[in-house]
Structure 1
Amino acid sequence: MLAGLVAAPPLASQAWRELGPAPISGVEFTGRAAAIATSAKRANRYYAGAASGGVWESTNGGRSWTARGDELPILSIGALAVDPDDDRILYAGSGEANGAYHSLYGLGLYKSTDRGRTWQVLGADLFAGRAFSRIVVSPHDSNDVWVAVARAGGTFGTVEGARGHPKRKGAVGVFRSRDGGLTWDRVRGGLRNVMASDVQLDPVDPDRIWVAHGDPFGRNPNGIYLSTDGGRRFAKAGLEINPQLLGRIMLAIAPSDPDRVYALIMNRTNRDKPYGFSPGGASTLAIIRSDDGGDTATTFFPGNFQGGQGNYNAAIVVHPTDPDVFFVGGVQMLRSTDGGETYADVTPPHVDVHGLVFDARGRLVAATDGGIYVSPDLGDTWFARNDGLGTVQFYAGASLHPSDATFLLAGTQDNGTNLRVGAGPRAWRHVFGGDGGYTAVDQADPDVFFVEFQGTGNLFRTTDGGATFNQSANGIDPNDRNCFLPPLVVDPGDPRRLLYATQRIYESTDGGLTWRPISGDLTGGPPFSVRSLVIAPSNPNLVHALTNDGRLLTSRDRGATWSLGLQSLGGWPRVTRQIAVDPRNHAFAYVADMRFGGGKVWQTKNAGRSWQSIGKGLPDVPVNTVGVHRAGSRRFILAGTDAGVFLSRNGGATWETYGDGLPNVPVQDLIVDPDHQRVVVTTLGRGVWWTALPKAAADAPTTLPLKAAGR
């Protein structure tokens, strides 16, 4: 359905323009790189796989980057591989197997034979809705390709990152192609339909294949498997670890001595309740070394360098010429120069390591939550290589300012809250740490604004443009539940009135100095919380809230009492901006249904007393955010999806793609900015973009493009 060459669409007059960051100035961070691959022949040719920002190429050792394949069906990348014999051939596995809510589903395996200029989508029906842990091209036969397949990310049921994709629970494990990816067989012969966290091929003996079944939540088949007959039969290798403890497992073979094999093993992740704060327990269990191809092994305990999130960040690589030198990555990164007996901390400038590789010159390259880092001296020094790599993952909750078109404040995944004041991709500065969430700005004074980091009550206010901050949590119970980054909204008619959401709603009437709860629990009970909140611009009494157990509620008395409007709406457990109210007529509001197969966009014409789906004309993709623009007497509805932005000019009867040039990346937030006649979107993996708002004059809707088909 998706197979065939994919060509980039031409730009139209309604073009999207990128605002960055690429990278964040000062700290030099960019978004999460889930995978890294290098050419075996050209030392400066790198490929980075952004977690949800696509494939990028560098021809100068990471000093600059070019996006390759923005038109592909989805840009969540979990694994990369370059053909060792022909570095024009590149494979990219869509779908990230790193076990987080924002580790999203894939839509097949991508293959390029011209270094990413054009692509073919392979195995779309076979792999859609799941994720790739590893891709390996055989050094003995370029047509022999092996992949390890897992579920998309999450905690409960491990599939929240699939966003309800109909094939999210399809087959996982190890698959093999003997024709360069055109056709595939699931590898059985002792392997199981259990998530595969790694596969490695012996660089000398084509009959020896290593596989790790590493379901991070723990399954009885978890373990390390070896085939000595070319993959016909697999058996557990003689590496003794209690299978009841095993979670994710990563493997590495020493290139200079294939009998030397290392395994990084994590404790299994606690299977959390649905939509809990985060999984836990995935600490470092052990590192295993075998010197005789798996017959015997030595176990080492380097300490827990992964915190509780080994399901999320885990990597291992062996030096190309010295089998005693290897590196393991998690929250921190460790180096051993004596085969695992001792370790030194060589963590790059940004923590959370997802991939490690050596380039053809022997430099160590790390893929982290802050982008790409290169070390010429085995980790003693590191250099950021993120210039032009525009892959920042933004959460919902960005803020603009009416008097300054360059002002943009927004929170990011693991790169804090960042402020843009000025032009260019580097016009961003880091103003607050952690995971950055919802923001709010005083519309009369842009030096006064709010930021937050993850958790309840971690809300801060500045009055000097971000030079200093004071906590704004007086009256908020820190034991309240949260959606990781609680929503915060300002009354459009009264900047001193703010609402903040846990499982209940808090109100401040003094600009955030003090808070008081004004509602009871709006959810169906623990562990759920409110993830989206809005005050009607034309009626401050009207408030809508959406919980992460899918309940849409409305208050018509400023939050004192609430009525239930819809249930089971789609969405991820974390913060969203799924609700928008017509700025002139509070009776009209819209809510996004953030899943496959849902209602897409719901509308009320009576202030939330009843709701109807108006998303029938949209492709079957999750709709993450909505906005409403009024021009003259006309009402335009904008929907930010996993496949770009769509526009309806007629109340949802028909929809069209809005604008050209926006990569196929999840749109996380959408802000209608009438003061500057633009719409601004933040994305989960490609930074911030803007284009002009639709005009009042009627334009004929275009035909729905094929780029969104096949999902």
Structure 2
Amino acid sequence: MKGETMARRTLRVAVVLSSAVLAASLAAWTADEPEKPSKGPEEFKSLKFRLVGPAAGGRVSRVTGVPGDPLVYFAASASGGVWKSENGGLQWKPIFDDQPDSSIGSIAVAASSPSVVYVGAGEANIRGNVAAGHGIYKSTDGGKTWTHVWTQEGQIGALVVHPANPDIAFAAVLGHAFGPNPERGVYRTKDGGRTWQQVLKKDADTGASDVCFDPSNPNVLFAGLWQARRRPWEMTSGGPASGLYMSRDGGDTWKQLTEHGLPEGIWGKVGVAVAPSDGRRVYALIEAEKGGLFRSDDGGDSWELVSDHHALRQRPWYYSTMTVDPARADVVWFPQVPMLRTLDGGKTIKKVKGAHHGDHHDIWIDPKNPRRLIGGNDGGVDLSWDGGETWYAPPLPLGQFYHVAADSSVPYRVSGAMQDLGTASCPSNSLSSGGIANDDCHDVGGGEAGFTAPDPSDPDVVYAGEYFGIITRYDHRTGMARNVSIYPENWSGHGAGDNRYRFQWTAPILVSPHDPKVVYHGANVLFRTEDGGQTWKAISPDLTRNDKAKQKWSGGPITGDNTGVEWYCTIFAIAESPRQKGII
């Protein structure tokens, strides 16, 4: 979470450092390229990736389990594939590593045949660095083997399986995050994934944000359509094509729901859920000027705004999911910055305490034992066996490293910044029989977004970055990270044009290969320090196109979103010639 990233942390839980490289490579793929990943250069064929840590968690977009089975859970991660636990969440293993996708947006287990699992690739929490997926996968043996049953590049945020027929499933296909494509909307299979039909669509700019059954009558479905677009310099959520839809014939035909208590004007993201215990009770989270939580007590015919609480509506493009308690129609869980819950049908919204991390994205409740829960968030997963009174967070190697660096220690240490978790430095090897432990790792200042740059002459010193141009100088001898930012100011809520300098989300940091006292930091101009960051000097003019149209307040037409990831017209990378000093 943003407020935590400058604090020094004790890291408790391993991240595959190769995940950032894998995510970057997937983002560059197109649907026309081979489905299987490249084997890489012949010279590297003997090299094998190995885990060096830390086990710090990482973003999980969707979670699920097997109804009535307290041992089995699944986690769909943002860049680490699919993970499964078969001992109640205590230990986990990756079950998707041999597939060409690591960004996962959705997962669903067939309640009537739990060995059948569907996976939708491409996380639908469309951050500025989101990786695309390549369709839908199916397993008929609980995740041991997979079949690629539908191929399409983009994001898939929700999957649901018919409660009594594992061959019938629906997918909410958001589509391309950064451009138009007609292959988006709600898709249905009636033959176990062999064929898929686009049963609900709007246009090439609008995808599906959610789809759900009425568990008591699976001929009834609800779906949300979402007009959204990411660009490197802005996020747009909402437009005239967004809406809430209903089908009463198993998805053959759909009707858009308007008026009758629903908000007027332009909508953004839509989430929808039906109470398993009462098919007449339907909830919808709607991003709109007068949006919030809407409730229907007559199966969708009429609606009432039951809560416009800000906590439910913040950053709706990143959240807007919910889960209704299987036995109590008035109890609804809302994954948000904190985990939220209502016990009275939405009239009051309260925080649920105890989860180890914030930025929640999903929660699954066992329909046969509603006290058994699993939630997914930016820090991994949290499990509860007592209805949310207490939680357990297992160590999962899912962190998303933006960049990695190695220092001159023996053995050398590998460091980097992880999304929402901060920085970490871990040894590349260990003399311990147990291998590299989490306690062998430590943070090096900076924050969740940025570079780490060790001093080659003194590996105890590490420069580390964060969004908005924050940079720190860490000294392991003291354990202190000193803020040496060029222009220390919090620009949350502002467009790039409001600041004196423009720093990329992961603004580059480089220690000169010729003089370790010389450190470069890139904004829209290039800065240099020769005294450990106490003073900085701009040594270049503006090296960008300085396009003012790409430096404005981002968001809308309903909700703004300006966190620094949208800052454009910046320096993205720096390199100095290793042979000739001063050639940059």
TM over 0.5: yes
Counterpart check, 1:104 vs 2:131: yes
Shift of 1:19: 2.4
Match for residue 441 of structure 2?
A: 428
> Does the 8 Å contact 2:292/2:312 carry over to 1?
no
Mapped pair 1:33 → 2:60:
yes
Which residue number in structure 2 is paired with residue 441 of structure 1? 454
More divergent stretch after superposition (426-435 vs 414-423)? 426-435
Give the secondary-structure state (helix, strand or coil) at the position aligned to 1:448: strand
State the SS of the aligned residue for 1:314.
Answer: coil
In 2, Cα distance between the equivalents of 1:446 and 1:183? 56
Other-structure match for 2:271: 250
Partner in structure 2 of residue 531 of structure 1: 572
8 Å CA contact 1:4–1:120 kept in 2: the answer is: no
Q: Does 1:179 pair with 2:191?
A: yes
Per the alignment, in what secondary structure is the counterpart of residue 532 of structure 1?
A: coil
Pairs within 5 Å for 1:311-710? 311-346=317-352, 348-359=355-366, 360-362=368-370, 363-385=372-394, 387=395, 389-396=396-403, 398-421=404-427, 423-424=435-436, 426=438, 427-432=440-445, 434-456=447-469, 458-465=470-477, 467-474=479-486, 479-526=500-547, 527=551, 528-543=569-584
Report what 1:576 is aligned to: none
**For 1:3-61, what per-residue CA distance to the aligned partner results, in whole angstroms no more than 9, with x for missing partners?**
9998999xx9824232243523xxxxx11111111112422211111111101110122
Q: Which residue of the other structure, out of 112, 115, 119, is the alignment partner of 1:85?
A: 112
Change (3 A) 1:288 1:434: farther
Q: CA deviation at 1:104?
A: 1.4
Residues 425 and 54 of structure 1, relative CA distance in 2, 3 Å threshold: farther
Q: How does 1:162-311 map to 2 (within 5 A)?
A: 169-188=181-200, 194-216=206-228, 217-237=237-257, 240-267=261-288, 285-305=291-311, 308-311=314-317
Which of 21, 28, 32 aligns to 2:53? It is 21
Letter aligned with residue 463 of structure 1:
D
- Unpaired runs of 5+ residues, structure 1, are 25-29, 160-167, 269-283, 544-711
- Residue 370 of structure 1: how far off its partner (Å): 0.5
Q: 1:512 to 1:358 in 2, by over 3 A?
A: same
2:369, 2:412 → 1: CA distance?
42
Structure 1's 6 and 91: CA in aligned 2 closer, same or farther, altered over 3 A?
A: farther
Residue 43 of structure 1 aligns to a residue whose secondary structure is strand
Alignment partners' CA distance in 2, 1:71 and 1:521 = 45
Residues 1:144 and 2:168 aligned together: yes
Change (3 A) 1:537 1:307: farther
- Could you tell me how far apart the structure 1 residues matched to 2:338 and 2:283 are? 18
CA distance in structure 2 between the partners assigned to 1:382 and 1:433 by the alignment:
29
Q: Is the 8 A contact 1:99 1:152 kept in 2?
A: no
- Residue deviations 1:645-682 (CA, integer Å, cap 9, x gap): xxxxxxxxxxxxxxxxxxxxxxxxxxxxxxxxxxxxxx
Partner amino acid for 2:160? Answer: V
Asked whether the 8 Å contact 2:227–2:238 carries over to 1, the reply is yes
Deviations, residues 254-274 of structure 1 (Å, cap 9, x unaligned): 111121111122248xxxxxx
CA distance in 2, matches of 1:249, 1:508: 48
Indicate how the Cα distance of structure 1 residues 294 and 358 shifts in structure 2: closer, same or farther if over 3 A, else same: same
Query: Is the contact between residue 210 and residue 270 of structure 2 (CA under 8 Å) also seen in structure 1?
Result: yes
Amino acid at match of 2:365: F
SS at match of 1:311: helix
Q: Is the 8 A contact 2:445 2:473 kept in 1?
A: no
1:72 equivalent to 2:99? Answer yes
Q: 1:170 to 1:73 in 2, by over 3 A?
A: farther
Contact 2:277 2:326 in 1 (8 A): yes
How many corresponding residue pairs?
A: 501
**For residue 123 of structure 1, what is the aligned residue in structure 2?**
150
TM-score, normalising length: structure 2: 0.80
Cα distance, 1:466 vs. partner? 6.8
Deviation for aligned residue 1:379: 3.0
CA distance in 1, matches of 2:148, 2:437: 31
Alpha-carbon distance, 1:297 to partner = 1.8
In 2, Cα distance between equivalents of 1:488 and 1:376:
45
Aligned equivalents of 2:486 and 2:227: distance in 1?
42
Contact 1:6 1:119 in 2 (8 A): no
Partner letter of residue 116 of structure 1? G
Question: What is the TM-score when the length of structure 1 is the normalising length?
Answer: 0.66
Whether contact under 8 Å (1:302, 1:343) holds in the other structure is no
Does the CA contact (< 8 Å) of 2:36 and 2:100 recur in 1?
Answer: no
- Tell me which protein shows more helix as a share of its residues: 2
Q: Using a 3 Å threshold, how does the CA distance of structure 1 residues 3 and 180 change in structure 2: closer, same or farther?
A: farther
Structure 1 residues 123, 369: CA separation in 2 closer, same or farther (over 3 Å shift)? same
Displacement, 1:97? 1.1
Is the partner of 1:530 in helix, strand or coil?
coil
Aligned 8 A contact 2:408 2:459 in 1:
no
SS in 2 for 1:79: strand
- Post-superposition shift, 1:475? 6.5
Q: Deviations over 1:506-562 (max 9, x none)?
A: 11122322101111111111431011111111212111xxxxxxxxxxxxxxxxxxx
What is the CA–CA distance in structure 2 between the aligned matches of 1:354 and 1:433, rounded to whole Å?
25
* Amino-acid identity (%): 31
